[in-house]
Amino acid sequence: MKSEKPKSNFPTEIVKEGRVKVLVPRLSAFVKEPSEYASSKAPVFYNPVMELNRDIAVLALQAYQRMVNCEICVCEPFTGCGIRGIRFAAEVDGVKKVLINDINPKASELAKYNVQLNALTNYISVKNEDANLLLSRYAASRKRFDAIDIDPFGSPVPYLDSAIRALRDNGLLAITATDMALLCGVHSKACIRRYGGRPLHTEYCHEIAVRLVAGCLATTAAKHDIGLNILFSHSTDHYIRVYAKLKYGATKADESIGKLGYILHCFNCFHRETINKPFTSNTSGVCPECSSKMDFAGPLWLGKLFDRDFCELMEKEVRNRDFEKKKRICKIVSLIKNEVDAPPTYYVIDKICDKLGFPVPSAKEIIRVLREKGFQSTLTHFNPKGIKTNAPSVGVKKTLQELHSVTVKRYMTNFK
């Protein structure tokens, strides 16, 4: 059946992404000033910058399908032009049905056209409802989804409760958060109000952001006697992303709540530590290294942010894909796999060297020396100049001082 182009009164164009092609608003037509965000100006939301997000979502959904080894039903409540859900149906093996939805009637109309354009009407249903209302319709045990992808513009928090209730036992919940100013500590009160945890504007604030979102998800799920395992997460560009496998049972919920805690940070000497006990006025906030007052973030998720087996499944899948951003995706997944067992937080070497007055050595050189000293040490995807290590801050600073001394001696020898 030939697809009829929607009777839209705005300029459009066909774009290709992954294995699909979709009709989208021509974003250049909606920008009057260079600083304007075209995606929010268009009558139907479409963000080409999020292609990497969608690529990784395809990989993660395929890895999940391989893990459960059965056909899966997927829901995407914020579909916009439909590109994400359409890619799930076209590019993920084992997808039985995809339900895509948008409260914007123009978006749902455009999404329907794009489903027809890709000959996927047998696999994809399109709805035009409020996201929470839609998800609530699928909260009954026999109606639930195997996977739900929450990718709103802003915070996912208003939709977590309904998404959790609409997900089957051992189902996959993927969530995006773009409100980074809150999560990174610029608006602390708003973050506490929205996510139930205090942020901290540190050099590793993007990891804190992921842990705050994961902590909020764990707390919300626990209200329904549901626990979770974080399978994968990443901080990329202007957003963070969390993929969690939800597991039914009060015991599982208790285990997840047991992984919540606080990160204590000293802004004077870079010391940081984690605590699982409740943070009260009686908790010692004095830095054990320099006796300065420490600040804190939390409550937040202190458990693992990645699963090694899941990362390996994603690595295997990406080899068979022809993504435009394949090289970058491979690097992200590889870095994440290497930091699976690393402790929370990371050190940004530039920041420490700036305070010590040292030139910045290569991260790989620091990692080599720390490993020779018996410490765990690896690069992190959170920051290209960051390292994750179980060495204390005093050990990291001592290593930088030693490397600086070697560099100075080498320079003096060559000068003579």
pLDDT, tens digit, 9 for 90 and up, residues 278-294: 766 556 689 999 999 99
Is residue 403 assigned to a domain?
yes
Is residue 326 assigned to a domain?
no
Share of the chain above pLDDT 90, in %: 87
Helix axis angle for 83-91 and 51-68, nearest 10°, is 40
State residue 226's pLDDT score.
Answer: 98
Using omega within 30 degrees of 0 as the cis cutoff, is the peptide bond preceding 299 cis? yes
Q: Tens digits of per-residue pLDDT, 211-220?
A: 999 999 999 9
Q: Tens digits of per-residue pLDDT, 94-130?
A: 999 999 999 999 999 999 999 999 999 999 999 999 9
Domain ranges, residue 357: 346-416
How high is the mean pLDDT of the chain? Answer: 93
Select the more confidently predicted residue: 297 or 2: 297
Q: What CATH number has the domain bearing residue 412?
A: 3.30.56.70
Sign of the CA dihedral with 58 first, then 26, 77, and 155 last: positive
pLDDT over 90 (residue 277):
no
Task: List, in sequence order, the alpha helices (H) in 125-204.
Answer: 131-136, 157-165, 180-183, 188-195
Is residue 369 assigned to a domain?
yes
Count of domains for the chain: 1
State residue 30's pLDDT score.
Answer: 84
Is residue 99 assigned to a domain?
no
DSSP label at 30? G
Is residue 311 assigned to a domain?
no
State residue 6's pLDDT score.
Answer: 74
Is residue 414 assigned to a domain?
yes
Is residue 407 assigned to a domain?
yes
Q: Tens digits of per-residue pLDDT, 209-249?
A: 999 999 999 999 999 999 999 999 999 999 999 999 999 99
Confidence of residue 28 (pLDDT cuts 50, 70, 90): confident
State residue 230's pLDDT score.
Answer: 98
Is residue 197 assigned to a domain?
no
pLDDT over 80 (residue 258):
yes
- What per-residue string of b and e applies to 330-344 under the rule 16 or more CB within 10 Å gives b? bebbebbbbbbebeb
